[in-house]
Chains A and B, each alone.
Chain A
Amino acid sequence: MKPAPFAYVDPRSIDEVVEHLARHGEDAKILAGGQSLMPMLNLRLARPSVIVDLNRVGGLDSITERDGVLFVGALARQRAVERWATPRLPLLAAALRLVGHTAIRNRGTVAGSIVHADPAAELPALLLCLDGAVVARSRAGERQIIARDLFHGPLMTSLRADEGVVETRWTLPPTAAGWSVREMARRHGDFALVGVAALVILARGAIARVRIALFGAGPVAVRAEAAEHALAGQTPKPALIEEAARLAVERLEPMSDLHAPAAYRLSVARTLTARALADALARASEGGH
């Protein structure tokens, strides 16, 4: 369990980083927190010829809020974001607490987890749920990719080989929003067998806006748009929640693996969606948090 040989570079600026990416393309891999990459290197499942270590690039670990948007630098550790989010964005904080263990979150980055695009990871689904985006940089410049355009398949994104993510962006919901994140994992800290994040904003007793995002329920994290449509504008009732949960899983095609067959994931996705909506609605009717 030692990596295959690779070259290592540790540039000091983003410009240098994208130069390396432009030069090596698919053969290069960015190292940020290393919590997914290092095991894959040691198992020789990933064999990049060049590791571009992001950790010596200055200024990438910032966490800032501006005009209702949270900006998270590519090197911001999950634990730092969790601390920031605990009083301000409890949905994200709760989701982060489900990511591995503290020691993992002390190293792992938010951006790294998102671009790794593991279908069972929490953060890609959270990016969908919070109308987020990533900012990708290449020699050609910067572009923003919104969450729904980012995830293409298991461990696959729409990022080009010459692009690196420098920032993730998250829309901050109003403080009165209700939220919930629920997942089923074999053990605390494991990748979820299946999970769901939900965000609900009530206006005069009716559902003004709702976001539901599922993870571990298919090749990529997905928004449950049919369920969101069914809920929008409605007054919450148990039957409506059940119907939304049914719609949320209607088109899903989860995978089977050692830990659970697809049918299990489908059944539990529905159960957890109903529970998450109930939680979120309860929080929303109490005025959030």
Chain B
Amino acid sequence: MGAKYFGAAVKRREDPRFLRGEARYVDDVKLPAMLHAAFLRSPHAHARLGAVRTEAAARVPGVVAVYSFGDLERWMKPLPLFGAPPPGLAAAVKFEIRQAQQFPLCRERARYVGEIVAMVVADTRARAEDAVERIEVDWEPLPVCVDLVSAAEAGAPLVHEEWGTNLAVGFRHAVGDVATAFAAADTVMGETFHIQRYVGMPIEGRGAVAVWDRRDGTLTTWNSTQVSHFVQQGLSAALELPPHKIRVIAPDLGGGFGTKASGYAEDVLVPLAAIRLNRPVKWTEDRREHMMSAAHARHQVHAIELAARRDGTILALRDRIWLDLGAYNVWGIVLPYNTVAHLLGPHRIPSMAVEFQAVVTHKTPNAPYRGAGRPETVFAMDRAVDRLARQLAIDPVEIRRKNYIRADEMPYDLRMPYRDGNPLVYDTGDFPAVLESALRASGYEEFRRAQAGLRARGVYRGIGISGYVEGTAIGPFEGATVKVDLAGHVIVATGAVSSGQGHETSFAQVAADALGVPLDWVTVIGGDTAAVPFGVGTFASRSAVTAGSSIHDAATQVKEKLVKAAANLLEAAPADVDIEDGQALVRGAPASAVPLARVVQACIPTFARPGVASPDFEASAYHHVPTVTYASAVHVAQVEVDVGTGHVKLLRYVVSHDCGKVINPIIVEGQVHGGVAQGVGGAMFEEMVYDDEGQLLTGTLMDYLVPTATDLPRIETVHLEYPSPRNPLGAKGLGEGGAISPPAAIANAVEDALAPFGVTIRETPESPARLLALIEAGTT
């Protein structure tokens, strides 16, 4: 493969249409006679559902239909559940797992504020909302469970009575001899850290448009989803139609972040209404709906202990972890085990014992969100390492130098399975080198030298470090089809959906190199189930590796077909023929070059002759990855804290990272920047807040604060490449990484800034009120 485009800073080809406002999102799909849906959502965190009276709603002008569970009972099938442990993992860890079925419309009881009770379909959204207000429901409120730590204790109100407990995923996991290590340690550091509930907040919310073609019994649905093939499978089961009768199109997406990778009630309710009414139906999520019914995330407590030698060498770790899943355990072991598998990160810690309790509470269900357990676990770990360093009076850099796994220890075996059931073995990387490059880029030494003088003048600055190792690009595969048209130009279709990642650029780079054609000859289609039969979707930092490898494989196969045909045309041996810049030629004989269009056209049979070869220039590939690749990074944050107000100003933010071979540095930087922005949100601003009755208090973006451009510093990136041997591109996943370390790096920096006050940061986000209370407690 000639690497002409791979690695080049190609400008994102999709950006002009985004910048011109010419993108097409689900809400831009407008069809003749289209109706609009609105939903009645539970106002109660926990309540028995009595009669649902819809007569008054049905009389509102413009209303076409009102549905509650009883009206659609024949089609009320459980929403999809995920996250059973794969065999390799089930053999190693004994999980206690409970998952309850959720129906698209509430049956008998509601378990969180925002759960859908009824659906109204009307000629406009405004009238549908008017009708929703007229639906009368007999509610019998029931006791509510909101506290994560006590949820699994006896006496807590049960979310699913049939379980007899709120424990949804419980397990213990141990490596090495923790008890002995703790007994032999010079020192033990113990702290409890809280990571708040914060969520993916795509600028474009969810949405669906469905149209039923009664002529041939075909459903087409546009859905703002990261996983169009999963939506297709879900609809196939729910509607009892074969997959090829259901076309799911994920058009342009304004962000996904995992929030759009769950199966949602609206995915099926909108098509159901379209089929029953035989008219197109649209639903566009509004922000209030997003707050209460799109997946929530994070929300963990870690009671963590480190055992160490006096010199800072960490010998063992114990952690008791709680995770609040909300009302339904949709994702099984995914978040719990991700948390555990990423706890040690770059640290060489021979012994570890973890006890995990993932509980259900009367809140919106959780799902993986950019990082999926990693930001939480890295927060606990890097805060613990900093606390240990402080306890031992060692610089936070020195303790990491001592404990980071070295390059000569690679591949490094953690002696436990990864979440995919395969052995957790770091493939490549140089964590100390990543650390040192981050320190250099952030001017760590100069910062430290200036810090004391600034403090004497009442300027409180701090610097914080966080490092992670991330299993990326989970398999098992992604689908890709590559085909050539009559002009020799190329169509690449994949199951991977771009929600802003720039697939139309990076995948075109991979295909153009593999085929030997100019980049602008390649068109990339993602997220259309009609374009490729089998696919998975974009999440878990997986598409560059999984879809990229499949595209590479399929394009390589198509190139072989083109070479064979060109060899016939050029009357040369295939081994002597190559394709460069869209021309086939005999190697070493530039005069022999013919445009690919001629090669293709020479294969099309005419009345006069058959083609020189079959015009079958098409291939599909479903590249299977052996296991994940391990990306890594070190983040360094510099902050200044106003000790009179608790305000934190982010001065600088440096990311030094390894994502294997970089396909496009512009896209990589953009991914890092976006991830860091969301990490800063978790570190300083964002929090979903419930009261004791399970009412969501953060119902708008005035209450739930996402960082804006003015809240972010310039983000500086250093790229280090340690190619993975686990795929033909040498790539590692990248999408989530930026979001993982900011909460830990910023908390460490804030604690460093406030060291004169003896402050300990135990929770996120670092709001000014929280910090001022700590400062004032430290002063007095």
Contacts and interface: CB of A to CB of B under 8 A. Distances in A.
Interface in B644-659: 644-647
B130 A4 contact: yes
B710 A188 contact: yes
Contact of B767 (A4, A39, A43, A186): A186
Interface string A2-46: 111100000000000000000000000000000000010001100
A259 B126 contact: no
Interface stretch (A88-96, A147-155, A196-204, A263-271): A263-271
Contact of B768 (A43, A186, A258): A186
B706 to A, nearest CB: 9
A261 interface: yes
Nearest to A274: B644
Contacts of A5: 126, 130
A258 B701 CA distance: 13
Interface string B301-315: 000000000000000
Contacts of B773: 263-264
B140 interface: no
A263 B646 CA distance: 13
Contacts of B772: 264, 267-268
B645 A2 contact: no
A187 B710 contact: yes
A1 interface: yes
Interface of A: 1-5, 39, 43-44, 184, 186-191, 193, 258-261, 263-264, 267-268, 271-272, 275
A259 B130 CA distance: 32
Given A186-B705, A271-B645, A275-B644, A259 B769 contact: yes
B768 A260 contact: yes
Given A39-B700, A260-B768, A268-B646, 4 more contacts: A2-B125, A2-B129, A271-B644, A272-B645
A268 B646 CA distance: 9
A184 B649 CA distance: 12
Nearest to B288: A1
Nearest to B773: A264
A186 B124 CA distance: 37
Contacts of A258: 689, 697-698, 703
A52 B450 CA distance: 60
Contacts of B768: 184, 186, 193, 260, 264, 268
A264 B774 CA distance: 11
Contact of A187 (B133, B288, B707, B776): B707
Contacts of A191: 702
A263 B773 CA distance: 9
A268 B286 contact: no
B206 to A, nearest CB: 14
B287 interface: yes
Highest count of chain B CB atoms <10 Å: which of A5, A187, A191, A275:
A187
Contacts of B606: none
A186 B125 CA distance: 33
B780 interface: no
Nearest to B771: A264
A259 B647 contact: no
A215 to B, nearest CB: 15
Interface residues of B, number: 31
B127 to A, nearest CB: 9
- 10 A-B pairs closest in CB distance: A2-B126, A260-B769, A1-B286, A271-B644, A264-B769, A188-B710, A2-B129, A184-B645, A268-B645, A186-B705
Contacts of A261: 769
Nearest to A267: B772
Interface of B: 124-126, 129-130, 133, 286-288, 644-647, 685, 689, 697-698, 700, 702-703, 705, 707-708, 710-711, 767-769, 772-773, 776
A267 B776 contact: yes
Contact of A259 (B287, B644, B710, B767): B767
B708 A188 contact: yes
Contacts of B697: 258
A32 B768 CA distance: 34
B711 A187 contact: yes
Contacts of A264: 646, 768-769, 772-773
18 contacts: A1-B287, A2-B125, A2-B126, A43-B288, A43-B700, A184-B645, A186-B768, A188-B711, A189-B708, A189-B710, A191-B702, A258-B689, A258-B698, A258-B703, A260-B768, A263-B773, A264-B646, A264-B773
Contacts of A2: 124-126, 129
A157 to B, nearest CB: 22
A193 B129 CA distance: 33
Contacts of A188: 708, 710-711
B301 to A, nearest CB: 21
Nearest to A1: B286
A211 B137 CA distance: 55
Nearest to A268: B645
Contact of A190 (B125, B286, B705): B705
A1 B133 CA distance: 12
A264 B708 CA distance: 24
Contacts of B126: 2-3, 5
B459 to A, nearest CB: 15
Contacts of A3: 126
B324 to A, nearest CB: 18
B648 to A, nearest CB: 11
Contacts of A1: 129, 286-288
Contacts of B769: 193, 259-261, 264
A231 B743 CA distance: 44
B291 to A, nearest CB: 11
B689 A268 contact: no
A261 B705 CA distance: 17
A1 B646 CA distance: 35
Nearest to B125: A2
Contact of B685 (A43, A44, A187): A187
Nearest to A3: B126
Contacts of A44: 133
B695 to A, nearest CB: 12
Nearest to B775: A267
Contacts of B645: 184, 268, 271-272
A268 B711 CA distance: 20
A190 B701 CA distance: 11
A272 B689 CA distance: 28
A1 B698 CA distance: 16
A264 B768 CA distance: 9
B644 A268 contact: yes
A258 B288 CA distance: 17
Contacts of B767: 186, 259-260
A184 B707 contact: no
Contacts of B133: 4, 44
A184 B288 contact: no
B686 to A, nearest CB: 11
A40 to B, nearest CB: 11
Contacts of A189: 708, 710
Nearest to A182: B645
Contacts of A190: 702, 705
A196 to B, nearest CB: 12
A200 B645 CA distance: 24
A264 B130 CA distance: 41
A276 to B, nearest CB: 12
A193 B710 CA distance: 18
Contacts of A271: 644-645
Contacts of A186: 685, 705, 767-768
A275 B644 CA distance: 10
A139 to B, nearest CB: 33
A4 B647 CA distance: 39
Contacts of B125: 2
A8 to B, nearest CB: 13
Interface-central residue, B124, B125, B702, by most chain A CB under 10 Å: B702
A184 B647 contact: yes
Nearest to A261: B769
B510 to A, nearest CB: 39
